[in-house]
Each structure stands twice: as structure tokens, then as C-alpha cells.
Amino acid sequence: MTRRESALRAARRGAVVTGLALLGLAGIYLRALMFTPVERFQGPAQKIFYVHAPMAWAALLAFLVTGVLSLLYLIMRDRKLDLIASSSAEVGVAFSLVMLTTGPLWGKPVWGTWWSWDARLTSTLFIFLLFVGYLVLRGALHDPEVRARFSAVMGVMALVLVPFIHVTVYWFRTLHPEPVLMKPERPGLPGVMLVTLLSSVAVCTVLYIGFLLLRYALTVLQELKEEEIVDGVS
């Protein structure tokens, strides 16, 4: 099977998986909005959690994939690893954007402030910034081998950084507790809500895989096109 054929196959699979995931997401919307009870103290805005948290999880998953594959690339130098890593980064940006927009929309009604600077939220903000830096670096390097190598270095460094970000914010918050204007009651999630949340996590994971397949196919096809052009010229 040629590279082009395998890329097209990935694209077809990606389309199917993404399609299913989008249907799943519609199902989650239905379930969350219509069939999951409203939380008494936080109100309807609490339901944002069913979207915000799973999307943040998907962004984290994308980040881990980029980081780990970057490390593997530096060890094994298989170009495919670099192509998947960079595809994962772009997909991760999309999920991070959802997280960064829904976060404040959830925070304001439920916690009383748009942005709470807690460890999880701040870490995911940094994941977004690191993704953007990674993609900007790639955009500025034109030699494919150099680009793969340098962005892999960036990916590994970013992976090592995130735990430090988390600890830094955690310690800062522990030593300087912010006054919380509203403290919503936090009983453990009852069964119905838990099912909604977990289903949403599953759907977002599948969505990540679908997007990754599509983006990866696109990356390979773009590269093949570039090679064609270069071959045509030389």
C-alpha cells in the first residue's frame, strides 16, 4: 500500500470515527440538558461541567500523546511519530479552546469569578500556550528533518514542564488561599450525573481519536504534495 493510499484510508476511518463521535456528542447534549437533573445549589450552569471537564481531559490526552511521541521520535527517528505528534498538537489546540472558553462560563456563575487560577485550570492554560508555541516553532522551520527534531525537543520539554506548573500553582494556592466568594456544595456526584459525565469523557476520547486520524491523514497528504512539487522542480 502506498503512503497515499494509507493516508486516504486513515482519512476514511477518521471521518467515520469523527462522525460517530459527533453523533455521540449530540447524544451527550441531549442527555445532559434534558435527562440529567439540575443541581440544586449551582443551578443549570453546573451542567457545563459535563462538557468542560471531558474536553479538558481530551486536551490533556492530546498533550500527552504529543509529548510521549516527541520523546519516542528522538529515540527512534521514525518520521511517522513526528507526524502524529504534530497532528495531536493541532487537535489539542481545538480541545483547549473549548476548555478555555467553557471554563470561565462555568466559573462565573458557580464560583463567582471568571478565572480561579487553580492548579488544574492554570495547567491547562499552559498546555494551550505550549501547544501554540510548539506549532509556531514548527511553522518557522522549513526543513522537515530539522522541524521534526526541534519540535520533538520542544515536546519533551513541555511534557516535563507541566507537572512543575501544577505543583507551583498548588503550593501558591495552599500558602495563599484565595477567598472564594461562593462555595458551592460539593456532594459526590449521584449516579445519573456520574453516568453523564463518564459518557461524555468516552465521547470526547473517541472524538479526539477521530480528529487525530483526520489531521494525520491531512499531514501526510500535505507532505506528499510537497514532495511531488519538489520532485517536479528537480
Question: Residues 17, 69, 85, 152: which binds another protein (CB under 8 A)?
Answer: 152
84 binds another protein (CB under 8 A): no
207 contacts: CB under 8 Å, gap ≥ 6: 18, 21, 22, 24, 25, 58
| Closer by beta carbon to another protein, 132 or else 201 | 132
Query: What is d(CA 194, CA 49) in angstroms, rounded to the nearest whole number?
Result: 11
54 contacts: CB under 8 Å, gap ≥ 6: 197, 200, 201, 203, 204
Candidates 59-67, 78-86, 189-197, 212-220: pick the segment binding another protein (CB under 8 A). 212-220
48 binds another protein (CB under 8 A): yes
Q: How far is the CB of 120 from another protein (least distance, A)?
A: 15
SS3 174: helix
Backbone angle region of 217, left / alpha / beta, with phi > 0 → left and psi within -120 to 50 → alpha: alpha
Query: What is d(CA 127, CA 121) in angstroms, rounded to the nearest whole number?
Result: 10
201 binds another protein (CB under 8 A): no
154 binds another protein (CB under 8 A): yes
Question: Residues 16, 30, 33, 198: which binds another protein (CB under 8 A)?
Answer: 33
29 binds another protein (CB under 8 A): yes
Output 107-112 pairs: Cβ under 8 A, ≥24 positions apart.
109/42, 109/43, 109/45, 110/42, 110/45, 110/46, 110/182, 110/184, 111/180, 111/181, 111/182, 111/184, 112/180, 112/181, 112/182
**One symbol per residue from 163 to 182: x for binding another protein (CB under 8 A), - otherwise; what is it?**
-xx-xx--xx--x-------
Q: How far is the CB of 103 from another protein (least distance, A)?
A: 9
Q: Which residues bind another protein (CB under 8 A)?
A: 8, 11, 14-15, 18, 22, 25, 29, 33, 38-45, 47-48, 51-52, 55, 74, 91, 94, 97-98, 101-102, 105-106, 108-110, 126, 129-130, 132-133, 136-137, 140-141, 146, 149-150, 152-154, 156-158, 160-161, 164-165, 167-168, 171-172, 175, 207, 211, 214-215, 217-218, 221-222, 225
